[in-house]
Each structure stands twice: as C-alpha cells, then as structure tokens.
Chains A and B, each alone.
Chain A
Amino acid sequence: MPFRHIAAASIAALALAAPAAADWKPTKPVEVIVHTGPGGGSDVLARAVAQMMEKEKLLPVRMQVINKPGGNGAVAAAALYEKKDDPHTIGFITSVWIAGPLTSSEAKITLKDLKPIAGLLLEPAVFAVRADSPFKSLKQFIDAAKAHPGELKQSGGSVTSRDNIVRLQLQHATGAKWAYVSFQGGGERLAALLGGHVDIMVIEPQEAGEQVRAGKLRVLAQLTEKRLPGYADVPTLREAGFDVTPTRQIRGVVAPPQQPDDATKYWEGRFEALRKTESWKKYIHDNQLEELFMPGAEMKKAIADIENQLREQYQLAGIKTVR
C-alpha cells in the first residue's frame, strides 16, 4: 500500500527541502495541462504528482489536471501557449511532444515555444523475448536476424517511437535486418509477443517484471544509461556489446511562454523539493523509473539533443520530417 507508512519520513524530508521563499506563490488552484485522456501515461503521472504534492504539503493550493488530448501533444502545447503569462498553469510533457512535431506540419506550437521548468524522470525500457525463445542474449537475436534477413519480427508502437528507433540504430550498427510491426496499444504489443506472433519487443521494466516472474518472458538487455535495480544482472545495450545510445524518453514540466521568471523559478523549486520526498522515491521505485532531475536550462538542452537524435534517425530510416 503506497503512501501510508511514510508520513514521518516525508515531514523530515520536507523540512530539509524547504528552499528560500520565492517571491511568487500560487493563490488559486493550479491547472496542469496533459496531452493524454484520463488514464493515459501523463494523466496518471500528473494525478500522482498532485496527490504527492498534497500529501507532502508542498503546495498551498490544489493541482487540477486538465486533459487536452490530440495531435501527439500538439493540442496541449497550443493550449499552454495560449495561456501566455499565466503563472497558475503548467504542463506535463513527454518525448512524444518532441517526436510528434518532427513529422507533422500541423503542429504549429512545439516545445521550443514553451518555457521549460524541470525534467523529472526518464522512462527506461528493456528488450524482452518469450521465455521459451531460442534467444538467450541480444547478440544471439541479432545474429539470427543477420542469417535470416527480414524474417524475425518486433512488435512496437508508431514508427516514430523509441521502440523503432532503437531497432534502426541496432540494424545500422550491426547490418542485421528484422521486421517491425506497429500496434496501437501496449497490451496488443505484449499479446503479439506472448502469442508467438512476433519474436521480440521493447517493454517497460515494471510491466516486463511480472511476466518474467511468471516465467513467460526473458529480458535480454536494457535501454538504460545504467542498470536498473530491478534488473541488476541484465546488461545495458553498451554492455551487451552494441555501440548504441538509446533515445532518452523524458518526462518533465513546462510553463506557458511568457510566465514570469519568479513563478517559473517557484515551480522549479517545488519539483526539486518533491524529488527529495519519500513519496516520490517510492513512486520511482515502484514503477521502475530512472530518477533524473534537471533544472529548466538543462532540460532545454536535453530536449534539443533528443530532437537532433530523432531527426537524424528518422532521416536515415526514410521517415519524412517537416522541421
């Protein structure tokens, strides 16, 4: 049961974390814009953060989640842009906000037009095969893909997603070839793998963990910068012998473009305080995420790096980019 046994510890954390008081403070409920419908990844994170902020008494007001679904984040980005200098609005972003505008000219507002507040975490992923698969390591899979070009299959999301990018990177680095089959939902991708219709997939560590425990899946490698605690004996791509840097799947917070600096500073401070709480640490641990706090300036640079990496990979793969 989350958040129950930790009140005492978190009060201590709060006392330590309390920063020098900023000039600006919210005076009414804060609107948090997310690009998914209720229950989507950003929505769940935003609601969990709102819950933690309340639990840890980090905010004098309530956080209210506003769903602006559509256009891979473009609708939410436009909604944030329209808020101009509003200090009481923030938005939760993910790498989709970077990838989407690269291929769709319809997206008029991109992350470049918004003000970064803080990066919060990275979403790691692992390569998994069925437990009865002949492949015991990523190298064995790649060798087989080299021997039988195009016959092995990977299930994943859109062609622009990280799942496909890492495949392109590995193909490029090794000369192997395997097919990529897109599915809309994560459940369908996993069902295709478990049903034996595809051979490999990129999956979230938390989701994979249960399947591994039940003896249904085997994890071959992790797309992380360093090994996750839950997968201490699984190599990263680099450790497995592949000179490939997987695209960072970032989650963070941004503000409307002209939000006053003292307000943006205030928000950055709040998220830095949140990061030190037990609630946050438990959330990161339970969901097997990679904790990575970045102040606004650093996050801006990280976003630019991700964008350049994605653009390069799309162009190599022949996916049309528009900016």
Chain B
Amino acid sequence: MDIVSGLAHGFQVALSAQNLLMCVIGVVLGTVIGVLPGLGPPATIAMLLPLTFKLDPTGSMIMLAGIYYGAKYGGSTTSILLNVPGESSSVVTCIDGYKMAMKGRAGPALGMAAIASFIAGTFGVVALMLVAPPLANFALAFSAPEYFALMVLGLAMVVLLSGDSLVKALLAMLVGLWIASMGTDLFTATSRFTFDRVELLGGIDFVIVAIGVFAVGEVLGNMEPAKPAEMLPVPKGLRNLMPTWDDMKRCRFAFLNGSVIGFLIGVLPGAGSTIASFISYGIEKAVSKHPEEFGEGAIEGVAAPEGSNNAETGGALVPLLTLGIPGSGTTAILLAALVLWGFKPGPLFIQDSPELFWGLVASMYIGNVLLLVLNLPLVAVFAQLLKLPAYAMYPLILGVSIVGVYTSASSMFQLWLLAAFGLLGYLMRKLDYPTAPLVLGLVLGDAMEKALRQSLMMSQGSLSILLRPIPTALLAIAALLLLVPLVRKFNAYRVRVVEREVG
C-alpha cells in the first residue's frame, strides 16, 4: 500500500466516530497524567490494558498512543508552573520554563511548550510515516561504541548547563554518575553502593531524584523567611498567555532542532525522550547568539526540549512497528498490548495489519491537533495554579510529589529517599550548585557505562573499536563542546585587552 492510499485509508479509520472518541479519551487522559508527577504513561497504559481486551484493537491502540504522546504535552505544564517535572522527559523544561514563570512569563512559556510540542510532534508523525523502514535500519547500525560516543556527547552538554562555575557543575555531574552506578551490576551481578539495602539492588529511580532535587528542594528553599516567595500576577486572557511574534521568531531554530533530534534519538532503542530533550537543549544553547540567557528564562530553552520529547514519540514507534523492537518502557507495554490483542509485531506488521498502522498514524495527526486546541485554552486554566498563595501552593507541591513517588513503587523507603534528595536539592541551591548536571549524569551515566563495557566485550578489550566513523565524529564534537568555555574566556579576555588599548 503506498503512502497516499494508506493515509487516506488511515484517516477513514481514525475519523470513525468510535476511533475519534478513543483518540479524544487518550489525549485528555494523557494530558492529565502528564500534569501529575510520578504517574506516567507506562503505569497508566498497563492499568488500562485489561479494559482494552473487550474493545476493538485499532481503537485501543489509538487511545493508548494518545496517552503516550498526550502525557508529553501535559508534562511541561507542571515543569513550568511548579518546577516539578510532570514527566521525566520534561526535566529540562524546568530550567528555563520555571524561570520564565518566575519572571511573570508563565503564559508564553506554556503556550510555547504547546506550540513546539505540536510542531515537533507532527514532524515526528510525518517522519514515522515517510521514512519508517529505512530509519529502522539506521537504528540497527548503531552498536555499543556508537551509543557510548552519543552518551559522552550528552555528558559534554554539562558545559552548557553549568551556571557560573564549571567546577561546581562537574562536581554535581559526578554525584549524578555515582548515583547512576548504584545497584546490581549487569555484567558481573555484583552489588554496588547498596549499603546492604534490598531496595537499592535495582539502583535509585530517576523520578525520585528528579522530583526530590527539583520540587522538594525548591519548596524547602522558598520556605526561608529571609527570602519570601513572590508569586507574580498572571496576565488574564488567552491573548496575553500566547507567545509574542518575537518569541516565535526566536524559536525558529528550536522547532527544527527539537523535531529532528527528538525523532532521531527516538529511533535508537534505549536512548529515550529524556536524553533527547537534554541533547536538543544543549544544541540550542550551543548555537544561540545569547547563551547567557539560558537558565534565566530563555524561551528557546522551553521550545527545544518540549519539541524534542514530542518528536521522540514518532521516532520510538519506528522500531516498535517496523521491527517489533521496543526502545523504551512505554513502547515495551505497547508491544505487550499488541501481542495480547493477537497481533504479531515484527518486520511484517505494517504489511499484515495496514488498518492498525495507518489508522494509528492518521490518529496521531488528529491527536496532535486536538492537543494543541486543548492545551492552548487550558493554559489559562492551569496558569490559575500560580495564583495560589504560598501556604496553599507548597503543601500542594509536596503532596503531589509524595503521592507521585509512592504510586510508582508503593514503598516507604522510596519516600525517605525523596526526602534525602529534597535536602540535597536545597543544599545545592543554597551553595549555588546547578542541579541540572546532576540529573544529566544520572540519566546518561548508566547507559554510557554499559555501552563502553559492551564495546570492550565485543572487541575483546581493544579500545580501537571506538575509532569507527560515527563514534569518532561524535567524540570529536564532544571534545569541541568542552573547548567552548575556554574559547569564550579567551574571547572575553581579548575584548578586554582591545578595549583597554583603544580606551
């Protein structure tokens, strides 16, 4: 079936009253769980799975996928308004999104998140439809050395995430790497840093660290009487909540960057949307004409990662639908769902089940439009949250964080960890350590270590395996990134000297 007739058939399927309803249910539900921290798409989809046995599989898939990409829209709202990542992929959005909100620009930040999500999400679907089969092969060409180099490149982004002091950023990143190394080692079955606690055998959940450091730390920081929290008034009306034309122009590159990076990283099994959002944020800052604004509320710092994590959805569906390979937790559950409904995910899936594939693709176009229409007016509704006084706001954030962590693991130990990381986040804030590098180290550290050890197992211990073309290129870019601060310093020095000579 060629693309035109396939898509036409797909829209026929997706626009049936029943499937349209499933799509609406999916995206609304997705937005809601996206807004709630802790409760993510994997848990929600797993809980709904038994219900879908009685329903039509195409409609069910449309709904479950709607939850998957709808959550990515919702995740940004919590990041921007509460500095709590609603989804782990919205961690980066906290950095500039929350700063914008603090400066009274919550509206444009929320609007931009929805617009960037729409543009990149739609790009992801188009790309999924057009280039799925060849891209699936591109993903297969990526082996351990390539992944290792990609993760090193990701870690090099720390240079761009650091505030005033690179040393402090590197220290924070090392703590992240240390936490990433906790738990049972995959290669030797040895326990590392488990302190004889059974709960630490599986390592520490990323969500707990992120919520602790960002949300609880922020609440603690704002409790101090010396620094009363000031909640700026939110402008009323949809018009004032929209990004300006200037904002849109500033984000032109961010839309492209987020779309392409998000989709490509999505295609790679195991990388995931959090890594995608970090990398596109880093690229955005690296090419920016005013990198000093990042971390202080740059709107591109919202557009790039939010676009990226939405384009990732389209990318992640490529290996799932064309190879039967799930690259992430959520796609693994979608795979289980397809098997339970009696489908056979694998290389022949699209050919065997055109109705489901094209119906899903068409529904994702519709779903992205629905989400944009839904989220732009809802921006105003969610923005009302900011008007809450501190005594209502902070207990609410704490409550939402605690419930979120408890739902994902139902264990008290995890709540103590949350408290510990909240304290850590507070201390880091007090001592002026940036928190993003810690999270970056935690996200990438584990994958980087595994990839390096896998490479060396493949080459029987020889480092020359890292000199293949793709890893070499990626490592070279990483090295260049690390040199950026030196060049900037030199430039500033040169400017000072010139000014002195002229003056």
- Kindly supply a per-residue 1/0 record for chain B positions 124-163, scoring 1 wherever the CB is within 8 Å of any chain A CB and 0 otherwise: 0000000000000001111110000000000000000000
Say whether B332 contacts A75, CB under 8 Å: no
Q: How many residues of B contact A (CB 8 A)?
A: 62
Chain A-chain B contacts (Cβ-Cβ < 8 Å), number: 192
With A183-B454, A195-B139, A214-B346 known, 18 other A-B pairs at CB within 8 A are A2-B53, A2-B340, A2-B341, A39-B46, A39-B329, A47-B46, A51-B53, A70-B202, A71-B200, A71-B202, A106-B194, A187-B269, A187-B327, A188-B269, A191-B323, A192-B143, A194-B323, A210-B348
A203 to B144, CA, bound (A): 20
Assess whether A27 is interfacial by the CB under 8 Å rule. Answer: no
Residue of A nearest to B142 (CB): A195
**Residues of A close to B324: CB separation below 8 A:** 190, 207, 210-211
Taking a contact as CB atoms under 8 Å apart, the answer to whether B346 and A159 are in contact is no
Is A58 on the interface with B (CB-CB < 8 A)? Answer: no
Complex Cα distance, B140 from A68, in Å, reads 33
Across the interface, name the chain A residue whose C-beta is closest to B332: A39
Min distance, Cβ B202 to any Cβ of chain A, angstroms: 4
Quick check: B42 and A39 within 8 Å, CB to CB? yes
Minimum C-beta distance from B71 to chain A (A): 14
Find out whether the CB atom of B410 lies under 8 angstroms from the CB atom of A67.
Answer: yes
Are A191 and B189 interface neighbours, CB within 8 A?
Answer: no
When C-beta atoms are compared, the residue in chain B nearest to A67 turns out to be B410
Partner of A38, one of B43, B199, B269: B43
| Residues B200 and A210 in contact, CB atoms below 8 Å apart | no
Residue A153 CB within 8 A of the other chain? yes
- With contacts A51-B53, A74-B198, A210-B347 known, is A197 near B143, CB below 8 A? yes
B positions within 8 Å CB-CB of A = 42-43, 45-47, 49-50, 53, 57, 139-144, 184, 186-191, 194, 196-202, 269-270, 319, 323-327, 329, 332-333, 336, 339-342, 344-349, 408-411, 450, 453-454, 457-458, 460
Chain B residues with Cβ below 8 Å from A39 are: 42, 45-46, 329, 332-333, 336
List residues of chain B with CB within 8 A of the CB of A7.
none
CB of B198 within 8 A of CB of A44, answer no
Q: B201 and A107: CB pair below 8 A?
A: yes
Binary interface encoding of chain A residues 284-299 relative to chain B, with 1 for a CB under 8 A from any of its CBs, else 0: 0011000000000000
User: A182 at interface (Cβ–Cβ under 8 A)?
Assistant: yes
Q: Give chain A residues whose Cβ lies under 8 Å from the Cβ of B49.
A: 44, 47
- Confirm or deny: A315 has a beta carbon within 8 angstroms of a beta carbon on chain B: no
Q: How far is the CB of A286 from chain B (nearest CB, A)?
A: 7
Residues on the A chain within 8 Å of B346, using CB: 207, 209-211, 213-214
Q: Give, as a whole number of angstroms, the nearest-CB distance from A313 to chain B.
A: 12
Contact B348 A213 (CB under 8 A): yes
Task: List residues 110-157 of chain A with CB under 8 A from any CB of chain B.
Answer: 150-151, 153, 157
Q: Which residues of A contact B341 (CB under 8 A)?
A: 1-2
Query: Which of A50, A160, A181, A286 lies at the interface centre, i.e. has the most chain B CB atoms within 10 A of its CB?
Result: A181
A51 and B196: CB pair below 8 A? no
Partner of B340, one of A48, A71, A160, A195: A48
